[in-house]
Amino acid sequence: MRHDTTGTTWKARAPMTGTAAASVARQEKDIAETVARLRAVFDSGVTRPAAGRRRRLHALRRLLRDHTPAIEEALYDDLRKGRTESHLTEIGGVLAEIEHALRHLDRWMRPRRVAVPMNIRPATARIHPEPLGVCLIIAPWNYPVTLTLNPLVGALAAGNAAVVKPSELAPATSALLADLLPRYVEAVAVVEGAVEETTLLLGQRFDHVFYTGNGTVGRVVAAAAAKNLTPVTLELGGKSPVFVDETADTAVTARRLAWGKFTNAGQTCVAPDYVLVTRAARDSLLDALPRAVHRMFGPDPRTSSDYGRIVDDRHFRRLTGLTAEGELLTGGVCDAEDRYIAPTVLTDVPPGAPVMTEEIFGPILPVLTVRDVHEAVDFVNARDKPLSLYAFTRDRKARRALLEKTSSGGLVYNAPMIHLGVPNLPFGGVGESGTGAYHGRASFDTFSHRKPVLSKPTRPDTLSLVYAPHTSRSFALVAKAVSRTHPLLGRRR
């Protein structure tokens, strides 16, 4: 099967003509040479020293600062992102990640000493973080700067070389990164393209593959990586639910939901996907949501410089089909030529409707009514584990129920999405929403091997007890030592 990074599963490749086969062979040769070149760079040792890691992080920061206007223009061309949104969700986020890595790099790189059991002493044991090698980063289109460069920050901080594959669905940003990254940052290569190029890249041997996208393609990436036993990080998606009860501040809740849902026209992996509101809070929330949308984007969001567009025609058609069931509370206006879909809120949506079974990834927010937090917990647990779970409640028992009785990549009270801005919090999914995590120290660890190193002197030779031939005395001494250190044998009854 062939695949792309946007979620389409492709049919088997048709037989190629001689010219097409020759073109693919050239591409494969070029990609193999690129990977081989980076492996030679890594093997030379230049990526390992702290000074070199810092130099590359500084260069990446300089790239962002030197070319901010060009990045803003590319993001506008690809997704109609406004200048402020580009800084909040793209450029600024990467700069913050770089600053955090530079501030903490020395501590992250420092070997960590660990205790040695009595029966192994005298000895010292440490954990030494070391780079993995040449890493592949496959990025999506919805945040084409952040979701390309944030993983790269971790790879560079950990001392690796990297191949970056931007999304072809954000062509302006992809072309800009392909031009700038190799000029600014050593030990980094960019491979542009679509299905063919991604497939060829996955045929190469890497030391880590970092993929952001959806579960369908994530399985393809994992299967390809498994052929070389390559570890993977899969940052996937899913449906991120919101719980709202009568203890919440409805006006603030509505504004934060409108911001979290309709930023980037809803094309955000951690955007609120649907709302579960208690009966007691339903009318107040439904009254506040249209007002919040109007306050942010005006009477006609089409004219707002802060409201984006759908990435392509295929996604536009998919999204308009998701509005077929449920009652329209606000929005619903669509313009295929402009790929515009107004911020849309649906109520009374059947739980089995496509908008409730598929990841929406667009500006459509279904609102369903539940009796209480326990019904909400049952609803969430009957579905795949979400990437994020949001709860607007001041009820401690409700918070505890959501914390202890549900599983999600992250849990946030009283705001959507902002946990991505905390570098000390690892970001990642669980189950269908992904495997592995990154941001801050978690990024460094993801792209590192934590190598255990033990050093034991040859005198005194305390290992003599384990040498053959074994005697009754050596058995008694070994049994006594084991009983003291083994968690089961040493337990008193």
Catalytic residues: 235, 269
Q: How far apart are CA 146 and CA 416, in angstroms?
A: 18
- The residue count of the chain comes to 493
Q: Tell me the Ramachandran region of residue 393: left when phi exceeds 0, alpha when psi lies from -120 to 50, beta otherwise.
A: beta
Burial of 424 (0-12, 13-18, 19+ CB in 10 A): exposed
User: In which element (H, E) is residue 180 found?
Assistant: helix 171-184
Residue 182: CA count within 13 A, CB half-sphere: 14
Burial of 118 (0-12, 13-18, 19+ CB in 10 A): exposed
Q: If you search the block for the tokens 């302006």, which residue do you land on? A: 172
Helix (H, G, I), strand (E, B) or coil at 439: coil
- Written in H, E and C, the secondary structure of 79-130 is HCCCHHHHHHHHHHHHHHHHHHHHHHHHHHHCCEEECCCCCCCCCEEEEEEE
Residue pair 270/388 in contact by the 8 Å Cβ criterion: yes
Query: Which amino acid is located at 5 in the chain?
Result: T
DSSP string, 226-239: HTTT--EEEE----
Q: How far apart are CA 416 and CA 242, in angstroms?
A: 9
User: In which element (H, E) is residue 368 found?
Assistant: strand 364-370
